[in-house]
Chains A and B, each alone.
Chain A
Amino acid sequence: MTTITTHRPRPPAQPASLRARRLPGYAPPAIAVVALLASAGIVYGAGIGGAVLVVVVAALLYLAGLFLAANAVEGRRSARNRTWSALIHSAFVLAVLPLASVVWTLVSKGSARLDGNFFGTSMNNIGARDANGGAYHAIVGTLEQVGIATLITVPLGVLCAIYVVEYGRGRFAFTIRFFVDVMTGIPSIVTGLFVLAFWVLIVSPVFNDGRPGFSGFAAALALSVLMLPTVVRSTEEMLRLVPAPLREGSYALGVPKWKTILRVVLPTALPGIVTGIMLAIARAAGETAPVLLVAGGGAAINFNPFENNQSSLALFVYQQAGEASKYSPARAWTAALTLVALVLVLTVAAKLLARRNRLGR
């Protein structure tokens, strides 16, 4: 087209229909049925496996068949679209199966020992042949350890977040933020080892006649190291969401900055901060490794977190799982169910609270 002519080239001939050709609605199910039959024929014919393999091979055949059929009728782009769509849906199904199995096993096996005896007694003097015995001491331990950890973490975490958001400037504040983020990824067992090295083996022998002092408090220290970054991060995000005009209004009235933070900023962000704290508590309650290393894990009820061994629910599950008694698996599963119930109640409550949060995201 070297010269501009007055008449344009004629448009290409209209197709018979304006709509592109599409695979009929019955085609995908039909391909699925054919794939299933073919797969059953192949697998059972060759005798190489059972029902599970049939489903796997059928899924692969279905994907291939769908691609070929759509490619022939609708073209390559649509074929790709359909295949990826099927893959994404099957990824979802693939993941739901094991997770549903975990939940189902948990409920069915855990309900066996869900009785008053389990919640009212400890494992003290319970031998391998005794069917009873319970997790009272472990529940007490979990509540005390998580409670102390919360008392340590919350003021520290909220103050740290206030520094980062309200006061911190420049490199130092950035460094703190960066390392809080990095701290989120420290494995729980490493925090357990840290408290073991720092508190149990070095500091506590001073009060304890030179013997290492395993205690619930040590577990609380380890849990608070785990909770700290979660609390700081969530508080930080919530403080950033507080609208600037609220602060400025307060400053305009001559209220000093520290008072503005305590009386205006924190109350506004409170629901979000509580949500973050509850999520951190839920995570800490489920931790086994640090408690295993520093709490000692006794079988008797011990209300004093500062002296002698203490257990926790998660540790109880782990210990019962390792015990060679035919009654211990039932105890382990029931304790696991209790633990999951506790964690889920906390998580759901936190999420519902987040939904009512006026600040929103």
Chain B
Amino acid sequence: MGDTPQRSAHAGTGGTTVATSHGWPAGASARVAEPSGNPGTPGPGGGDALPRAKAFGAERAFRGLTLAAGTFVLVVIAAIAIFLIAKAVPALRANSESFWTFEGWFPNDNPPKFGIGALAFGTVLTALLALLMAVPVALGIALYLSHYAPRRLGNGLGFLVDLLAAVPSVVFGLWGRDYFAQPVADLSAWLNRYFGWIPIFGDGPYGNSILLGSVVLAIMVLPIVTSLSREVFRQTPTANEEAALALGATRWEMVRTAVLPYGRPGVIAAVMLGLGRALGETIALALTLGSTYAISFNVLASGGNTIAANIANRFAEANDTGRGALIASGLVLFAITLIVNITARAIIYRRREFTESAA
């Protein structure tokens, strides 16, 4: 199908007709075909019967326009990397401590001192904890909606989950800080009292802790992972499910042998996309984390910080070097999310090829 339309476009209409027909109403398109509709002449076949493609026809112009728009996407991605690097390098040069290991953020001092170690650690720790909590629950809900709930109920609730995925993150942050902090502080005190021997459940003070941040993050990621994996589970071929049931499988065995293996690449991709979202989440964590600069595994004590939350918190007070330092940290975040996303997409693309060849 690829070449035919182009040839017919030029062969059938001729160059001038194409150019002048630009502003005609939709009904006029039949007239465009008239010149070639002469029954007496033989069909296209002689090479010289076909008019040559015009160098600057509307077809080429439109094609060039779309090509430019497509290329623009690549330009934007490259520009993001280039401009971030351009602004980050002067600040990194001015930094008097190691960017990777120094635990603290004083880019406005003279000499400036800042390091990304604690922030990157906090980013990864918070995101992983959030996923650890969110993913099993999200898969449970996705299975419930696709295979356990009555069909109408499942569709209705699925719609609701999609709506929740659209709720802005600042709302979750506000809820976490104003309303959810107290229950989590109580839970922290309880965990420390009875499970204090596990190192991550250390002493207080309890307040805006990594636990609070990651629970809020988990609640935010939940609708996204649920909605994506529900889509995947629903696409399981009915034949596979019915075959499993016909062999006498219970409902769980059907899910385990037909639905989960089929959906595994999709679920992995959904989790990776959720991870990307969690790594980049800014405002909810700026409101719920304690904003300290230490590497600590104690998830209960007030503290914790992430790259994105640090940017939001420290931007207002930043001078020139301070902005450069924040942009440098943003560059690291960009690199981390880029790796996560490319991995996720590679998994999805492999699956797409697999399903297409199987069909």
Contact = CB atoms under 8 A, between A and B. Distances in A.
A173 interface: yes
Contact of B170 (A160, A196, A288, A347): A288
Contacts of A182: 77, 338, 341-342, 345
Contacts, number: 301
Contact of A225 (B76, B143, B326, B330): B76
Contacts of B338: 182, 185-186
Q: Report whether over half of chain A's contact residues are helix, strand or loop; otherwise say mixed.
A: helix
A288 B58 CA distance: 42
A155 to B, nearest CB: 8
B171 A102 contact: yes
Contact of A91 (B140, B159, B276): B140
Contacts of A253: 29-30, 32-33
Interface string B214-245: 00000100110010000000000000000000
Contacts of A157: 69
B70 A173 contact: yes
A198 B80 CA distance: 8
B18 interface: yes
Contact of B308 (A179, A189, A194): A189
B280 interface: yes
A262 B24 CA distance: 12
B209 interface: no
Interface stretch (B99-107, B247-255, B293-301): B247-255
Contacts of A244: 1
Nearest to B176: A102
- Determine which residue in B74, B76, B84, B338 has the highest number of CB atoms from chain A within 10 A of its CB, and name it: B76
A77 B58 CA distance: 67
B174 interface: yes
Contacts of A92: 140-141, 144
B340 interface: yes
Contacts of A348: 163
Nearest to A198: B83
A99 B330 CA distance: 30
29 contacts: A81-B252, A85-B148, A91-B140, A95-B137, A95-B138, A101-B179, A102-B172, A159-B68, A163-B69, A163-B70, A168-B70, A176-B74, A179-B73, A179-B74, A185-B280, A185-B344, A186-B338, A247-B5, A248-B1, A256-B9, A256-B18, A258-B58, A258-B62, A261-B62, A262-B62, A286-B167, A329-B178, A339-B171, A344-B166
